[in-house]
């Protein structure tokens, strides 16, 4: 487990019992505070607000915080299954059924894939993101349309995607990868300290090439890589690409 000492703590809230908060802090091996101030050593806190687990910044304690949004983004279909339209759906393919998202993160692409009716499994290696995802997927299962249609949230697989993919008993037709690419060079100020710490907390994708190689060996039909328009293709020249001026989906077909 990554070492979050001095960077992250759990902040008790009135929404959950103290014993639950303590057990959660023990699981992450970080301190538990019942209150914090500017002198508190840690910069980020996991806490419960508005019936959601949230990640908050010490400098913005009174703000809402970050949680995994389970609702469709602007412009996305709100019915289930949503139409398989747009660049992401084109890249995955209408006939594809089983998908593994190897880099789930904040799960916005994962949830869009799920709402389009694909059979989806999610992999996440950050214990912080795992906690946020587990909370979000529990909330998702309480949504009216999920219960009405008797649907279950996607399965979350914890661990390094390279290891998890290699150990899967049932190989997916498609593996989806959304790695952290280096930012495009601009003549601008350095990132804020809080953003640097957040990136440090969640980890960096230094093993993207190895992940692609493993994904390509495991997937039975294709690998789809999401990347910004300026980035070099992760797996060499793709079979085909879909996208826009801001990003693209590189598709690598097998066989």
What is the per-residue pLDDT for 195?
55
Look up the pTM and report it. Answer: 0.90
Q: What is the mean pLDDT of residues 34-47?
A: 90
pLDDT tens per residue across span 62-72? 788 889 999 88
Residue 56 has pLDDT above 80, yes or no: yes
Task: Give the number of other Cβ atoms within 10 Å of residue 244's Cβ.
Answer: 10
Q: Please say if the pLDDT value at position 233 is more than 90.
A: yes
Specify the CATH number of the domain 86-253: 3.40.50.150
Which segment of 37-51, 125-139, 171-185 scores lowest on mean pLDDT? 171-185
pLDDT at 2: 61
Confidence of residue 122 (pLDDT cuts 50, 70, 90): very high
Burial of 8 (0-12, 13-18, 19+ CB in 10 A): buried
Query: What's the pLDDT tens digit per position in 149-198?
Result: 999 999 999 999 999 999 999 999 999 999 876 556 554 444 555 556 66
SS (H, E, C) the chain: CCCCCCCEEEECCCCCCHHHHHHHHHHHCCCEECCCCCCCCCCEEEEEECCEEEEEEHHHCCCCCECCCCCCCCCCCCCCCCCCCHHHHHHHCCCCCEEEECCCCCCHHHHHHHHCCCEEEEEECCHHHHHHHHHHHHHHCCCHHHHHCCCCCCEEEECCHHHHHHHCCCCCCEEEECCCCCCCCCCCCCCCHHHHHHHHHHCCCCCHHHHHHHHHHHCCCEEEEEEECCCCCCCCCCCEEEECCCEEEEEEECC
Share above pLDDT 90 across residues of the chain, in percent, rounded to a whole number: 67
Q: What's the rounded mean pLDDT across residues 208-214? A: 95
Q: According to the model, what pLDDT value does residue 65 have? A: 87
Inter-axis angle of helices 18-28 and 127-140, to 10 degrees?
Answer: 140
Of 235, 98, 87, the closest CA to residue 175 belongs to 98
- What would the pLDDT profile of 75-118 be if each residue is shown by its tens digit? 666 678 888 999 999 999 999 999 999 999 899 999 999 999 99
Query: Of the given ranges (5-14, 23-32, 180-189, 246-255), which has the lowest mean pLDDT?
Result: 180-189
Instruction: Kindly list the domain boundaries of the chain, sorted by start residue.
Output: 8-60, 86-253
- What percentage of the chain reaches a pLDDT higher than 70? 87
Q: What is the dihedral of CA 76, 81, 83, 87, to 10 degrees?
A: 70
pLDDT of residue 223: 98
């Amino acid at each position: 487990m990554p070492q979050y000492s001095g960077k992250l703590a759990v902040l008790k809230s009135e929404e959950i019992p103290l014993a639950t908060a303590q057990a959660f802090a023990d699981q992450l091996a970080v301190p538990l505070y019942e209150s914090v101030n500017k002198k508190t050593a840690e910069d980020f806190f996991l806490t419960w607000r508005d019936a959601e687990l949230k990640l908050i910044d010490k400098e913005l304690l009174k703000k809402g915080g970050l949680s995994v949004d389970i609702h469709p983004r602007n412009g996305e279909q709100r019915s289930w299954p949503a139409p398989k339209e747009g660049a992401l759906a084109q890249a995955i393919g209408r006939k594809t059924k089983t998908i593994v998202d190897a880099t789930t993160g904040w799960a916005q692409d994962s949830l869009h894939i799920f709402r389009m009716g694909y059979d989806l499994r999610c992999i996440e290696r950050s214990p912080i993101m795992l906690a946020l995802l587990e909370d979000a997927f529990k909330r998702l299962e309480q949504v009216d349309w999920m219960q009405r249609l008797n649907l279950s949230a996607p399965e979350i697989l914890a661990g390094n995607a390279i290891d998890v993919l290699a150990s899967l008993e049932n190989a997916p037709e498609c593996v989806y990868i959304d790695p952290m690419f280096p930012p495009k060079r601009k003549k601008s100020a350095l990132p804020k300290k809080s953003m640097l710490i957040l990136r440090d907390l969640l980890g960096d994708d230094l093993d993207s090439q190895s992940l692609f190689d493993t994904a390509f060996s495991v997937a039975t039909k294709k690998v789809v890589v999401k990347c910004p328009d300026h980035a070099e293709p992760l797996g060499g020249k793709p079979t085909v690409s879909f996208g826009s001026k801001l990003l693209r989906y590189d598709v690598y077909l097998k066989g």
